Amino acid sequence: MALHLALILMVSISYLSPENILKFADHLFEEGDYKRAIGEYERYLFFAGEDDDRDWAVYRIGLSYEMIGEYRRALSFYKKLGGQEVLYRVGCLYFKMGDFASSVDTLRKLKRTKGISERALCLEAAGQIMLGRADRARSTLRSLLNSLSREDVLGVAERLMKLMPLVESKPHKSPFLAAFLSALFPGAGKVYAGRGYDGLYSLSVVGFSAGMAYDGFRDNGVRSAKGWLFGGATLFFYLGNIYGSAIAAGEFNARENKRLKEEILGSVGPLLGDFLGDFHTFKARRSSPEHGKP
């Protein structure tokens, strides 16, 4: 009985060792069970000493939060770490969050980092596209295509360059012009914004109510209840038609921006992946002479 208890105790102690907790956390991460992996990595940090692989656990916690879409929490863990590799991850995270200005500013710091600079420049060009800086993006992509040696980054740069004509000629509708057109002719602004059916409907509603108001005033003069009722309705629909046209133009632009963003995200997807995919790569790069604080 005592021997049996001793064996159970030994197994329990072995399981609770930091090394085994870390292995189990890595296993959960590789299986895609990110929420449980976070718990195990945090348990490892509780038991591990200062000289153990704490940086790896902190990095993987950040990456786990990133994988489940909790970008703010992921960022808070990445910022606890030094190193150019993690700084690249921060730039990727800002890009995913839609904070393209911060992404570009972060990635700019990596231009001379061996093994990362080409990825960073390519992703920076994508960020410039999203910020509407097409000329800068084209210049960066051209220099990359003339000097790239990595096939994975080359493929992304080529796809981005193919998107440049779409970026530079992206359709745009002016909300002010749409409103102005509908003020001149009901429904015209919605037709301009690509919503022909809605434009025809607006014209029909405003025209019908105006016609009924005219009919009422013609028959009974200014005392016509019908005339005032439909006159008020005409004014209401007319103003709504102007406002709706401006909204329609804004929605058109939002759809085009979303489509372009999806195209770009699809192109740069390989660059947004886990750059430090395994423990040994992580440790080797962080112990190299080039490793440093961001």
Is the whole model's pTM more than 0.85, yes or no?
Answer: no
Q: How far apart are CA 115 and CA 119, in angstroms?
A: 8
- The pLDDT of 97-123, averaged and rounded, is 84
Q: How far apart are CA 209 and CA 278, in angstroms?
A: 69
Higher per-residue pLDDT: 87 or 292: 87
pLDDT value of residue 7: 41
pLDDT digits (tens, 9 = 90+) for 23-59: 898 889 989 899 999 999 999 888 877 766 788 889 8
pLDDT value of residue 258: 86
Q: What are the extents of the domains in the chain? A: 175-246
- The pLDDT of 175-192, averaged and rounded, is 91
